[in-house]
Copies of this chain bind each other. A is one copy, B any other.
């Protein structure tokens, strides 16, 4: 490896002390115009660029934020990470990513690695359920994002998934549906639990029955929605409306419905959650509940940066509101042709 240009090299070239060069770099005011010019010239000439690791050691700050994600290949999380990266860069921070693969053990490892003073702060979408084991005792500033264990009290930033479930279900009820099934997401995740609860609360408020399809899978994919709905059909139960816990599952459900020769929305109305890119382009375009992912990522990073800089926090638990996007996959049920 070739020797790298250091502060010392610049100092020697410009015939000043190392400290002075450092001062120039850090825009310390008490450097005379003349020497500043000379130092700047030397820096330019030698192509000096600061050694972030050395700075990190000295200052105790790495200007990096770690993000522990359950599943990076999931477009939903990819979008969140993307937004987080933007905000982090804006503030001069670099994002480190750790994929926990929806596995609590791997997650714990990720957190431990991240906390080894790699990162100034930690952003985490927890895969674990109730026990927040891996996080407590963690000294590194951290903010929980998207998924938060029940009863979690530390700073966090989430979406109102309960409300999302309500919005979707209320929309179906308003259209006149009385036979509304739910395709639940992975039961160990908070968002899936909350959306389910939202759905239940609306049905209960209207005295309607809960035709719940608990999908057995461990993920939010298209095939989960597909097989879940196939299972429902195989029981002979055909609802007039289906609320899927996310858009990808809704896509799978859509396929299952169409394969059975039924029409969306005439025979079955369908609602998803997330409003991923393709939702608008499905046939029919999918009614869904939009989640402000970018806002969430932004809020979470803002929170984390305040934590890192030990600033005063007014609100420590940010909850963002979803928005119903009505498209063509939902309509009133046919009168008289139920089941």
Contacts from A to B (Cβ < 8 Å): 1-2, 4, 49-54, 56-57, 60, 62, 64, 71-75, 78-79, 81-83, 85-86, 89, 94-99, 112-113, 115-118, 139, 221-223, 226, 248, 251-252, 254-255, 258, 277-278, 280-283
Closest B residue by C-beta to A72: B82
Q: Are B251 and A281 in contact (CB under 8 A)?
A: yes
Q: Are A222 and B281 in contact (CB under 8 A)?
A: yes
A109 to B89 alpha-carbon distance, docked (Å): 11
Write the nearest CB–CB distance from A135 to chain B, whole angstroms: 16
User: Which residues of chain B are within 8 angstroms of A226 by Cβ–Cβ distance?
Assistant: 281
Instruction: Report copies per complex.
Output: 2
Partner of A96, one of B49, B96, B281: B96
Known: A78-B75, A258-B283. A97 touches B113 (CB 8 A): no
Partner of A53, one of B53, B86, B95, B113: B53
Closest B residue by C-beta to A75: B75
Q: Are A99 and B113 in contact (CB under 8 A)?
A: no
Closest B residue by C-beta to A222: B281
Q: Are A248 and B222 in contact (CB under 8 A)?
A: no
Q: Are B98 and A277 in contact (CB under 8 A)?
A: no
